[in-house]
Amino acid sequence: MKYKLLGKTGVLVSELCFGTMTFGSEADETESTQMFSQCRNAGVNFFDCSNNYSEGRAETILGKLIAGCRDEVVITTKVSQRVGKDINAIGPTRRHIMLSVEQSLTRLRTDRIDLYIIHYFDPFTAMDETLRALDDLVHQGKVLYLGVSNWAAWQIAKALGISERKCLARFECIQPMYNLVKRQAEVEILPLAESEQLGVIAYNPLAGGVLSGKYSPGITPQSGRLAEKDQYRKRYAEPIYYEVADRFVNYANALGVDPVTLAISWVKSNPAITAPILGARNTSQLSASLAAADFVMTSEMRESISQLSIKPGTATDRLEEELDSKYILRNRS
C-alpha cells in the first residue's frame, strides 16, 4: 500500500479509503469486522463513515473496530443528512452540528474526529453559520480537519473565500462522486482541488456496481445496489452508462484484469485524487477492490480507458482552448 498526503494537512493516508456504508446493514458486525481486518492487513489506514449510515450503527461498529488502533487510523464521519424524526434533525446548522458531533464521538468511542465532512449543500442554512460552527469544533479539539461532500465547485470556492476572509478553519478535503461514467468532477471540482491543494476522496468508483462486470445493457442482477436502492437506479438510469460499462468490461477482460480492480485503478490514477472510497458487502467483493493498490496503470492505459466513455465539456465551452493547449500562450506572445 502506498500513502499520500491529505491535501496540505501533512497527514499521510492510504491511497485506498474504505467506506463503511454497509456496516450494520448489508454487512452485519461479523462481516464488518472481517472486512476491517482485511483492509488493515492490506495497509489501509483511512476509513470513511457517516452519522446516517445504517441509522448510526455504522459509526458504532467502526468505533468498536478502531478501539485497539485508534491512533493508527484516520477516520471521517459526516453531518447534515436527516438522522431522526425531529424537525431540526437535519442540515448543517450550528444546532444540528453541535448535537450531531457529540453523538458521533460517543458512537465512535473517540475524543476526536480526524475529518468531519458536511454531507450535502443546504440552501436554507447560511454558509457563514456552518463554517463558524465547524471552526468552533476545531478549536475545541473535537474535530481535526474539515471536509465537504456533494458541493459544486463554486460553493466550495465560496466557502474557502469566507474561511480565508474570516480566519476560520477551511475545508481541507472534498468528497465528490467520480467514476468512468460520471466524470463531471473533471470540469471544475478536481481542478479546484489541485489549485487549492485539497485532498479528494472520490466515492462510487464502481458507479454503484455498473462497472463491476455484473451489468450489461438491458440486464440487471436481482441483488446489489442498483437492484435494491432507488437512489442508485435513478443515479445510473441513463442507457449510455451501460454501453460504456460494456465497452469497459470487454477492455478489462482482454487485459485479463478484474473490472473492479481496473475501475478503481482508473479513478486512483487521476493526479487530483487522494484515494477512491471502496465499498463492499463482504470480503469476497473487497478483495478485487484492494487489488487496485498494486495495479500499475500506465498513462496510455488510462487514456485508452478514458476514451471508452464521454468526456465532459469544458467549463466555459471555449472548445478551441480544449483542442489547442497552446492557445492562451500563443495569444500572450
Is 259 in contact with 249 (CB distance < 8 Å)?
Answer: yes
Backbone dihedral angles phi then psi of residue 244, each to the nearest 5 degrees? -60, -45
Q: Which residues contact 74 (CB under 8 A, 6 or more apart)?
A: 6, 11, 13, 45, 46, 47, 114, 115
If one counts every other C-beta atom within 10 angstroms of the C-beta of residue 170, the result is: 21
Q: Which of 3, 53, 215, 241 is catalytic?
A: 53
Going by C-alpha positions, the residue among 168, 177, 285 that lies closest to residue 231 is 177
Q: Is 203 a catalytic residue?
A: no
CA distance 272 to 282: 29
Q: Which three cell numbers stand for residue 48?
A: 470513511
CA distance 205 to 263: 7
Instruction: Please identify every residue annotated as catalytic.
Output: 53
